[in-house]
Amino acid sequence: MNTCRSCQIKIGEGFKKCPICGALQPLCDRNASLYPVARRRGTLLFWRKIGIGLLLLGVLSSAIVNICVGGAPWAVYVLLGAYAAYEIFLSLETAEISIIRRIVSGGYAVAFLLFGIERFTHSGTWAREIAIPMVLFGVLTASAALYASAYRKFPGHFLPVFGLCFLSMGWGIMGILGIWTIRWPLITLSSTALGVFVAALIIFHRRIWAELRKKLHI
Amino acid sequence: MPSSPEKSAFLKELLSEVRLPKKETRALGEDFLRLFAFYEKQGLADAEIRERIGEGILGSFYRPANKNEWYRLDSAAKVYPLSMTHTHMTVFRVSAYLREKVEPAVLQVALHAVIKRFPLFSTAVCRGVFWHYFDAIRRRFPVREESAPPCSYFSLGRRKTPCFQVLYYKDRVSLEIFHALTDGTGAMVFLRTLIREYLRLLGKPQNASSLPDINENPREEERENAFAKAQKQEKGTGFMQKMALQPGRGHLKRKKDRVLHFIMPTEALRRAAKARGVTVTVLLTESIFRGVQASAEKAKDGANMQVQIPVNMRKFYPSETLRNFSLYAVISLPKGTEAGDGMRQEISRQLKLQTERVSLSRMLFSANQMATNPLVRVMPLTLKNFVLKKVYGILGEKVLSATLSNLGNVEAEFGEDVRFFDFVLGRTSKSNIKCTLVSYGETSVFTVTDSLRKNPFGKAVCRSLSEMGIPFYIEGVAE
């Protein structure tokens, strides 16, 4: 134990400076420190922060430039693109990190981007009728395949897949009822969704029921 | 490879009930091999090793978890996963300082033996549709050498990541734990049970009968949500407090938290409190108010100083739960209140009033009502995450200047083998100062966690303790 020469308080030998008055301790013995010298941790979060900063900077500068030159829609495209990039590459859950959730959220973000482009360029209905169903089809097959291959490891990750299935089937039903224009990509998407949903229920019904009880607290 | 056929057979016996993936089973085996090597160095014969470890040390715990085993969060815990960010979480640590350097091989096997008695700790946080929950996991829980400051963030995102970690450094064994899992009392039971098993494996069996027997089955009462014991009250208490004076204002913040332990004789602390006719908690709360006052000199707002004091509800509602079961009292004094008898009397008065059974029952009822509110219950987790994070920031943190959590006296059941315990509350992103007290035998440790660059709070606490005639020395995170 050392005594600080400046404030006369008794302190542990590991302190380089007095923790109370800040005076340097010539008799400091780092090996006697109560705690280890902390190693640097978590560079991933550092790069994530840099990535988010760059995205925000990009969105802000494009908004300024585009508004100045009279091309406001482009600022919206950049914003939606940045959102898609965030969802795919930078989003991070605090609990139960799931690659399936990331893929599905990324798919939704890309769908938003396509919808925005279609809306602001007044270029018909190519995104709603062709591109978005195609993107969601890709996302659905990829996420369903991932779940099927790793359901033992990640039994609880079926929710995003089911969410996408319900959305796609609902969209398909709207087409059948004549509320929405139905074309082959939507037919493919909604029938695949129905297939995935039914297959999942047949193959994994016990596991899904157990997980559903946990997720819904029943 | 074990050095003798007897050991090899014993290892096989030990692992015979293990049904984990190969990698995990191999790692478990290696843990035992390290322990065998340690015992060999100590000169123990094969028969002695077998007797020391015991055949059923792992029980039938290390098998794939039952897919129906999961736990709801208790009423107090619900907010903790919601308020968690990628850099901050509500984590605390309890540590035991032993007489001798920690033997990692022994500690590791002690943890393997103890965890089976605490299935609640063998869980990972998962996202539900409406609330988070704990999902049972079965794996090898490693002990690690400390390499980060106390109560640092540890990610819970990956699959099968437990909500606690057992760390060792020199002669200290620490348990860092996510507050959603348990409170100080529950964590202390786990740590003491671990220390008892560690000492037993070292050949120093302890007669700590107040702790759970690790060979008996876990009891249902230990996992109950004790908040459900709340009886219907005519009126509840609101949780809304006025904004508190923030000690950090006007001071530069450090990048890393400062953790200082004021180590003092329990008897001197008790004598000082008795001489002033107050309890130890009141005495230290006065020191904290002095510290808050000193560190908020430059603050211009007229907000009151508010110190939160958690109250262990097990004293009022007998419960064996190892989960959260604490409420709190908030002592509020205007800035500029003079330290001394007047301040102590006012703290005593407020504390007494708020820790009466009637007020605590009302608060318990309100806490339970809030968690079971149908509107809150049906709100999807994503929305809760957004809304409750903001609410927690206001209700939970900005209304407080500091916190004092007194774990009280730890039963001196380990005699000379344990020197003392300490207890550290991690700072969350917004709160400024966290203080704790824990006593073991003749030593009490008052811990302060803060992030102010200059240390006005620490200076004021030192001055206050010196004026009370309490001898102390300071240990902590070295600069």
Q: Mind listing the pLDDT tens digit for each residue in A174-218?
A: 999 999 888 999 999 999 999 999 999 999 898 899 999 999 988
Contact B68 A207 (CB under 8 A): no
User: 3-state SS string over chain A?
Assistant: CEECCCCCCEECCCCCECCCCCCECCCCCHHHCCCCCCCCCCHHHHHHHHHHHHHHHHHHHHHHHHHHCCCHHHHHHHHHHHHHHHHHHHCCCCECCCHHHHHHHHHHHHHHHHHHHHHHHCCCCHHHHHHHHHHHHHHHHHHHHHHHHHCCCCHHHHHHHHHHHHHHHHHHHHHHCCCCCCCHHHHHHHHHHHHHHHHHHHHHHHHHHHHHHHHHCC
Which tops the pLDDT comparison, A136 or A49? A136
Which tops the pLDDT comparison, B232 or A132? A132
pLDDT for residue B1 is more than 60? no
Query: How confident is the model over B435-458, as pLDDT tens digits?
Result: 999 999 999 999 999 888 778 899
Q: Is A119 on the interface with B (CB under 8 A)?
A: no
Looking at the partner chain, which of A7, A11, A214 has a beta carbon nearest the beta carbon of B473?
A11
Residue B263 CA to residue B279 CA, distance in Å, equals 18
pLDDT for residue B391 is more than 80? no
Residue A116 CA to residue A112 CA, distance in Å, equals 6
pLDDT of residue A69: 87
Contacts of B126 in chain A (CB under 8 A): 95-96, 156, 214
Please enumerate in sequence order all residues whose Cβ is within 8 A of that of B198, keeping only pairs 6 or more positions apart, or say none: B106, B107, B110, B173
- Angle at CA of residue B473, ends B280 and B410, nearest 5°: 45
pLDDT for residue B242 is more than 80? no
Confidence class for position B385, pLDDT limits 50, 70, 90:
confident
pLDDT of residue B87: 77
B1-7 CB contacts, 8 Å cutoff, 24+ apart: B1/B33, B2/B33, B2/B36, B3/B36, B3/B40, B4/B46, B6/B46, B6/B47, B6/B50, B7/B36, B7/B46, B7/B49
- The two structure tokens encoding residue B281: 């908690």
Q: Is A202 on the interface with B (CB under 8 A)?
A: no
Q: Which residues pair with B215 in a beta bridge?
A: none
pLDDT of residue B210: 85
pLDDT of residue B98: 96
pLDDT of residue B240: 59
Residue B169 CA to residue A195 CA, distance in Å, equals 55
Region B296-301: mean pLDDT is 70
How crowded is the C-beta side of B434, counted as CA atoms within 13 Å? Answer: 23
Query: How confident is the model over B92-150, as pLDDT tens digits?
Result: 999 999 999 999 999 999 999 999 999 999 999 999 989 999 999 999 999 999 998 89
pLDDT for residue B153 is more than 90? no
Instruction: Identify which of B224, B223, B63, B82 has the alpha carbon closest to the alpha carbon of residue B156.
Output: B82
Please enumerate in sequence order all residues whose Cβ is within 8 A of that of A6, keeping only pairs 6 or more positions apart, or say none: A18, A21, A23
Closest CA–CA distance from residue A125 to any residue of chain B (Å) = 31
CB-CB contact of A23 with A3 (8 Å): no
Contact B86 A92 (CB under 8 A): yes
pLDDT of residue B300: 66
Range of lowest pLDDT (A109-113, B164-168, B374-378): B374-378
For helices A132-150 and A158-176, what crossing angle results, to 10°?
140
> Mean pLDDT across chain A, nearest whole number?
89
Please enumerate in sequence order all residues whose Cβ is within 8 A of that of B72, keeping only pairs 6 or more positions apart, or say none: A217, B131, B133, B134, B225
pLDDT of residue B365: 85
Region B18-40: mean pLDDT is 94
Confidence class for position A39, pLDDT limits 50, 70, 90:
low
Q: Is B398 on the interface with A (CB under 8 A)?
A: no
- The two structure tokens encoding residue A153: 């490891």
Query: Which parts of B22-140 are beta strand (E)?
Result: 70-72, 91-98, 123-127, 132-136
Contact B67 A11 (CB under 8 A): no
pLDDT for residue B431 is more than 60? no
Q: Is A152 on the interface with B (CB under 8 A)?
A: no
pLDDT for residue A65 is more than 80? yes
For helices A184-216 and A132-150, what crossing angle results, to 10°?
40
Residue B467 CA to residue B284 CA, distance in Å, equals 12
- Consecutive H or E run containing B456: helix B456-467
- The two structure tokens encoding residue B373: 């509110």
pLDDT of residue A198: 96
CB-CB contact of B92 with B184 (8 Å): yes
Residues 241 through 270 of chain B touching chain A, CB cutoff 8 Å? 256, 258-261
Instruction: Identify which of A34, A28, A13, A19 has the alpha carbon closest to the alpha carbon of residue B97.
Output: A34
**How are beta strands B164-169 and B172-178 bridged, if at all?**
antiparallel
pLDDT for residue B330 is more than 70? yes
Residue B114 CA to residue B195 CA, distance in Å, equals 10
Contact A12 B475 (CB under 8 A): yes
Q: What is the ipTM of this complex?
A: 0.86
Percent of chain A with pLDDT over 90: 47
CB-CB contact of A12 with A1 (8 Å): yes
pLDDT of residue A42: 64
pLDDT for residue B393 is more than 70? no
> Which of A148-152, B101-105, B201-205, B373-377 has the largest mean confidence?
B101-105
Query: How confident is the model over B36-56, as pLDDT tens digits?
Result: 999 999 999 999 999 999 988
Q: Is A83 on the interface with B (CB under 8 A)?
A: no
- Consecutive H or E run containing B409: strand B402-410
Range of lowest pLDDT (A30-39, A143-152, B49-58, B417-426): A30-39
Confidence class for position B25, pLDDT limits 50, 70, 90:
very high
- The two structure tokens encoding residue A209: 């029921």
> Mean pLDDT across chain B, nearest whole number?
89
How crowded is the C-beta side of B258, counted as CA atoms within 13 Å? Answer: 25
- The two structure tokens encoding residue B370: 């809030």
Confidence class for position B358, pLDDT limits 50, 70, 90:
confident
Query: How confident is the model over B244-271, as pLDDT tens digits?
Result: 888 765 555 666 788 999 999 999 999 9
Which segments of B247-398 does DSSP mark as H helices, in order? 266-275, 280-295, 341-354, 357-372, 374-378, 381-392
- Angle at CA of residue B105, ends B426 and A40, nearest 5°: 40
Q: Is A36 on the interface with B (CB under 8 A)?
A: yes
Region B229-236: mean pLDDT is 67
pLDDT of residue A78: 87
pLDDT for residue B342 is more than 90? yes
CB-CB contact of B458 with B259 (8 Å): no
Q: Which residues of B56-88 are buried (b: 16+ CB within 10 A; e: fewer)?
A: ebbbebbeebebebbbbbbbbbbbbbbbbebeb
pLDDT for residue B232 is more than 80? no
For helices B5-15 and B46-53, what crossing angle results, to 10°?
20
Contact B259 A35 (CB under 8 A): yes
Looking at the partner chain, which of A12, A35, A39 has a beta carbon nearest the beta carbon of B150?
A35
pLDDT of residue B423: 96
